[in-house]
């Protein structure tokens, strides 16, 4: 998923939520001496007229406590909460694991947001 800030001020993604999971956590995967470790993030900065790519193996959203398995071709609602803009509802399409160049072992299911409902 790529987050683009088309506004006139820097903003920060501070939370995410979906009815599909108990939690949607902001995370980053960092390589320490050949070992990938995940660390929580309190926010993701998005500069004015800038963008941030969320992807497996880097900055990403981790869905914890899934209420049902993710299946390729399905979609689900996701609410992104920004510090300044507020809440933005998007629909996320589930893609084949590894389709964005991630680990490809099914550990992360890759998802892509579809057109947001409203603002962008």
Phi, psi of 86 (to 5 degrees): 95, -145
Q: Please state the separation of Cα 29 from the chain's center in Å.
A: 13
Q: What is the mean pLDDT of residues 28-52?
A: 92
Asked if residue 11 is part of any domain, the answer here is yes
CA distances from residue 24 to 35, 40, 49, 60, 64 in whole angstroms, order as listed: 24, 11, 25, 10, 6
Domain of residue 59, residue span: 2-113
CATH of residue 57's domain is 2.60.40.1890
**Structure confidence at residue 4 (pLDDT):** 92
Asked if residue 120 is part of any domain, the answer here is no
Greater confidence (67 vs 107) lies with: 67
Question: Please, what is the Cα angle at 116 between 104 and 118, to 5 degrees?
Answer: 170
**Mean pLDDT across the chain, nearest whole number?**
83
At 55, is the secondary structure helix, strand, or coil? coil
Taken as a whole, the chain contains a residue count of 120
pTM of this prediction? 0.78
Asked if residue 118 is part of any domain, the answer here is no
């Amino acid at each position: 998923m790529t987050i683009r800030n088309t506004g006139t001020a820097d903003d920060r993604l501070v939370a995410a939520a979906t009815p599909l999971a108990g939690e949607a956590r902001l995370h980053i995967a960092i390589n320490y001496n050949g070992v990938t470790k995940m660390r929580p993030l309190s926010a993701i900065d998005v500069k004015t007229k800038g963008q941030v790519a969320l992807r497996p193996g880097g900055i990403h959203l981790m869905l914890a406590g899934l209420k049902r398995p993710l299946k390729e071709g399905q979609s689900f609602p996701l609410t992104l909460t920004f510090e300044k803009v507020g809440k933005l509802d998007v629909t996320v399409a589930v893609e084949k694991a590894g389709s964005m160049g991630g680990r490809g072992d099914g550990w992360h299911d890759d998802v892509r947001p579809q057109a947001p409902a409203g603002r962008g």
